C-alpha cells in the first residue's frame, strides 16, 4: 500500500494571490540551450545503451556549461566574431561486459557530441555548429556499481538511492499559461512566419490583482532586419501577437511590452546574428532556468533539482519532479472541483521508487467542493500513476516529456 495523503493546501490559490510572478526562458536562452543540450545528450545515451546493451546503463549528464562568444550583428546580416564554447560535462559508462563475456566499448563521447549538435541545428538554425559554436565534451566514468536496468525483460522498478523530493502543480494560472504558451507560440508558428524572431525569447509575467504585465525580451535576427524601422515593426508585431494570444487565456487586462531595454534613438537594440544572446556575453548552464514544468514560479514551491541531463531510469530527483507534475496534471484533467493542486513526492532510500515515503497532494477546492469529496478519486489517480512510474522513464527517453 502506497502512502498517499490528500489534504487541504493552507494558502490561497496562486490565481487568487495579490501578486504573482512567472518567468520562462525561451528555447534559445543560454541557460535553456544548456538544458536542451543536456537532455538531448541524455536521450542520445539512453538510446545508445538500449541499442547496444538492451538496457540503460549508468550516466548523468546534467552539467553543460556555455561560454558566450562575441558577435557583430548588423542590419541585413552581421557575423559571429568569436565562437560560443560549450562544454558537455558528466559521467557515463564506457565499458560493459555482456553476459556472454564480450567487452563492449560504448562511444559515449561521440554520441554526446552528435546529440548536442543535432539539437543545436534544430533549435537554433542560424547558429553554424562548429564555427559559430564549438561543442566540447568531458565525460568521466561514475561509480561502477550503478549499472541499472531499464528496458530489460522483466525490468524491475528501481530502488531509490537518495532522499529526494519532487513537486508539481496544476492547473496553471492564467499568467503561467500566457507566459508558457506565448514562448511556445513565438518559437513555433510565429517563428515559421517571421524568421526575424530568434529563439532567445525570455518572457516575464507579473500580475498584480487583475492587471497582467507581460515583458518579452526577444532577440531579433539581423539577416531579416534591414533597418531600425523594420526592427521597430518586428517588435510591434511580437507585442500584438502576444497580446492577442493572451486574450485567449484571460479576461484580465494584459499589457505586453517587448524589448523594453531598447534605446532606439541611441541605436541600442536587441539585434543578434544568430538569434541568441549567447553570441555576445551571456553565458549559460544547466538547471539555472525553467523548472521541469517549463516555468519559474516563485509563488510556488520549487525543487532546485536540475532535471535536464539526468538519467531517467534511476535519478529519483528527475523522476519525481516529472512525475509529480504529471500527477497534478492528471488529477486536474480527470476531475472537477480543484482550483489549485500541489503534489509532492518524497523518496525513501532503499525502497522501490513507486513506493515513496510520502505522496502528498495538497488541494484548494472550488467553492462547494470539500477535500473529502475528491480524496478517493484523487488517491486512485495518484496510485495508478505511481504504479506506472517507469512510464516516465520511457516517455523521457522517447522525448515525449520535456524537462525544461
Kindly state whether residue 1 participates in binding its own copies, applying the rule CB under 8 A: no
Looking from the CA of 375 toward its CB, the CA atoms found within 13 Å total 10
**Residue 145, annotated ligand binder?**
yes
Among 99, 105, 265, 367, binds its own copies (CB under 8 A): 105
208 burial level (CB within 10 Å; 0-12, 13-18, 19+): exposed
Beta strands 79-82; 197-208: pairing state: unpaired
DSSP symbol at 275: S
Question: Is residue 141 part of an annotated ligand binding site?
Answer: yes
**Binding track over 191-210 against its own copies, x by CB under 8 A:** -------------x-x-x--
Select 191 or 311, whichever has its Cβ closest to its own copies: 311
Under 8 Å between Cβ of 372 and 348: no
Q: What residues between 276 and 305 interact with its own copies by CB under 8 A?
A: 280-281, 283-289, 291, 296, 298-304
Q: Hey, which residues between 115 and 174 contact its own copies (CB under 8 A)? A: 117, 129-132, 134-138, 140-143, 145, 161-163, 165, 167
Q: Which is nearer to its own copies, 253 or 336 (CB)?
A: 253
Using the minimum distance from each CB to its own copies, give the nearer residue, 163 or 333. Answer: 163
Select 101 or 154, whichever has its Cβ closest to its own copies. Answer: 101
Residue 142 in marked binding region: yes
Residue 323 DSSP one-character state: H
Grid cell, residue 397, equals 527517453
Considering beta carbons, is residue 349 or 380 the nearer one to its own copies? 349
Identified binder of its own copies from the candidate list 2, 77, 81, 366, rule CB under 8 A = 81
**Which residue number, 191 or 328, has a Cβ lying nearer to its own copies?**
328
Asked if residue 353 lies in contact with residue 159, where contact means CB atoms within 8 angstroms, the answer is yes
DSSP 160: P
Which residues lie across from 89 on neighbouring strands? 138
Query: Are 92 and 141 a contacting pair, CB within 8 Å?
Result: yes
Tell me the C-alpha distance between 306 and 300, whole Å: 17
Residue 39 phi/psi, 5° resolution? -75, -35
Nearest to 347, CA basis, from 323, 317, 327? 317
Q: Minimum distance from CB of 163 to its own copies (Å)?
A: 5
The helix (H) or strand (E) run that includes residue 207 is: strand 197-208
Of the residues 51, 72, 334, 387, which one makes contact with its own copies according to CB under 8 A: 72
Q: Which stretch binds its own copies (CB under 8 A): 74-82, 174-182, 247-255, 383-391?
A: 74-82
Per-residue CA distances from 393 to 162, 179, 355, 390 (Å):
17, 27, 16, 5
Q: Does residue 228 contact residue 212 with C-beta atoms inside 8 Å? A: no
Q: Is 275 a known ligand-binding residue?
A: no
82 interacts with its own copies by CB under 8 A: yes
Minimum gap (Å) between residue 49 Cβ and its own copies: 14
Minimum distance, C-beta of residue 81 to its own copies, in the bound complex (Å)? 4
Residues 337-396 that bind its own copies (CB under 8 A): 344, 346, 349, 358, 360
Judged by CB under 8 A, the stretch of 108-116, 150-158, 187-195, 324-332 that binds its own copies is 108-116
Burial level of 280, CB count in 10 A (0-12/13-18/19+)?
buried
Q: Choose one: 59-67, 179-187, 237-245, 393-401; the region binding its own copies (CB under 8 A).
A: 59-67
Q: Which of residues 240-279 bind its own copies (CB under 8 A)?
A: 260-261, 268
Residue positions forming the annotated binding site:
140-145
Residue positions forming the annotated binding site for ATP:
140-145
Amino acid at each position: 500500500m502506497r502512502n498517499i495523503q490528500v489534504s487541504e493546501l493552507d494558502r490561497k490559490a496562486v490565481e487568487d494571490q495579490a501578486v504573482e510572478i512567472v518567468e520562462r526562458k525561451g528555447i534559445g536562452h543560454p541557460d535553456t540551450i544548456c538544458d536542451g543540450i543536456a537532455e538531448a545528450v541524455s536521450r542520445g545515451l539512453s538510446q545508445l545503451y538500449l541499442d547496444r546493451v538492451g538496457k540503460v546503463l549508468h550516466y548523468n549528464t546534467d552539467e553543460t556549461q556555455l561560454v558566450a562568444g562575441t558577435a557583430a550583428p548588423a542590419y541585413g546580416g552581421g557575423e559571429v566574431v568569436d565562437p560560443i564554447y560549450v562544454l558537455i560535462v558528466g559521467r557515463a559508462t564506457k565499458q560493459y561486459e555482456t553476459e556472454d563475456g564480450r567487452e563492449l566499448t560504448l562511444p559515449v563521447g561521440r554520441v554526446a557530441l552528435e546529440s548536442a549538435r543535432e539539437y543545436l541545428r534544430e533549435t537554433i538554425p542560424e547558429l553554424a555548429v562548429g564555427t559559430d559554436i564549438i561543442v566540447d565534451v568531458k565525460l568521466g566514468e561514475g561509480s561502477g556499481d550503478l549499472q541499472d536496468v531499464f528496458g530489460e525483460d522483466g525490468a524491475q522498478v528501481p530502488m531509490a538511492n537518495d532522499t529526494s523530493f519532487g513537486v508539481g502543480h496544476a492547473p496553471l494560472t492564467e499568467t503561467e499559461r500566457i507566459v508558457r504558451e506565448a514562448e511556445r507560440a513565438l518559437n513555433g508558428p510565429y517563428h515559421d512566419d517571421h524568421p526575424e524572431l530568434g529563439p532567445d525569447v525570455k518572457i516575464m509575467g507579473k500580475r498584480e490583482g487583475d492587471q497582467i504585465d507581460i515583458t518579452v525580451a526577444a532577440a531579433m535576427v539581423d539577416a531579416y532586419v534591414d533597418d531600425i524601422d523594420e526592427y521597430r515593426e518586428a517588435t510591434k508585431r511580437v507585442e500584438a501577437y502576444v497580446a492577442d494570444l493572451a486574450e485567449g487565456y484571460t479576461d484580465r487586462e494584459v499589457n505586453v511590452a517587448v524589448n523594453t531595454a531598447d534605446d532606439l534613438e541611441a541605436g541600442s537594440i536587441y539585434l543578434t546574428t544568430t538569434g541568441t544572446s549567447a553570441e555576445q556575453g551571456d553565458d549559460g548552464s544547466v538547471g539555472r532556468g525553467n523548472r521541469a514544468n517549463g516555468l519559474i514560479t516563485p509563488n510556488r514551491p520549487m525543487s532546485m533539482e536540475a532535471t535536464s541531463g539526468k538519467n531517467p531510469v534511476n535519478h529519483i530527483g528527475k523522476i519525481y519532479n516529472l512525475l509529480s507534475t504529471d500527477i497534478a496534471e492528471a488529477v486536474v484533467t480527470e476531475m472537477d472541483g480543484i482550483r489549485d493542486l500541489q503534489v509532492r513526492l518524497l523518496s525513501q532510500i532503499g525502497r522501490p521508487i513507486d513506493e515513496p515515503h510520502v505522496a502528498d497532494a495538497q488541494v484548494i477546492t472550488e467553492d462547494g467542493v470539500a477535500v473529502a469529496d475528491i480524496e478517493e478519486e484523487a488517491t486512485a489517480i495518484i496510485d495508478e500513476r505511481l504504479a506506472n512510474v517507469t512510464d516516465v522513464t520511457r516517455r523521457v527517453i522517447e522525448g515525449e516529456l520535456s524537462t525544461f
